[in-house]
Amino acid sequence: MGVRTLHLVRHGQYLRDPEMLTDLGRAQSACVASRLAREGVVEVVTSTLPRASQTTEALRHALPSARFRRSRLLVEGIPCPPPWPARGEVATRLQSRTDDEWERTRDRLQRATVRFVRPTRGGDQTDVLVGHGNWIRAMICRALELPLEAWWSFDMHHCGLCTLRVGRKRTFLVRFNETGHLPDAMLTME
């Protein structure tokens, strides 16, 4: 079994209604695509939501030899409530969730982690997942066997880059929220 280097990219800045990348989000996507162009990427898997799919378009141009596909397993989700009392809009959204909804989201997170965070069957390989900040942070917690609630303590910029090195016996976090490919004026989170 080979080592899988797995780059996790948060989508670019976007508008909520209608959901689409802003001009800045498209520029952020181009920057992260340029950064990944020198990584020898074999496969790119993206969430099916528009903001992630639109971010992936820049990668298609920068990574012409990579395979591209979409997965519903990477769609945004909140897998657990925060370990502290939630306030404001977050509290309102979370209070309406049923135990069954929390369980289904955690199950999907587990399936995504098992599916994507694993060593290769052959030689070493570099892949990219394009998704959402909450989901990326939660997947990292699962991959590193951290308490799931820890994801609430991390934050990510749009088109921030995280990297996991997945070996036969252990997974390592190589980088979290790297933004060196983005000029300071392009750093956004909300």
| Model pLDDT for residues 23-65, shown as the tens digit of each residue | 999 999 999 999 999 999 999 999 999 999 999 999 999 999 9
Q: CA-to-CA distance for 62 and 1, rounded, in angstroms?
A: 28
What pLDDT was estimated at residue 172?
98
| Confidence category of residue 190, pLDDT binned at 50, 70, 90 | confident
- CA-nearest of 32, 43, 96, 95 to 74 is 43
Residue 138 Rama label (left phi>0; alpha psi -120 to 50; beta): alpha
- In this prediction the pTM is 0.95
CATH 3.10.310.30 fits 4-186, yes or no: no
User: Does pLDDT of 94 surpass 90?
Assistant: no
Mean pLDDT, the chain, whole residue set = 95
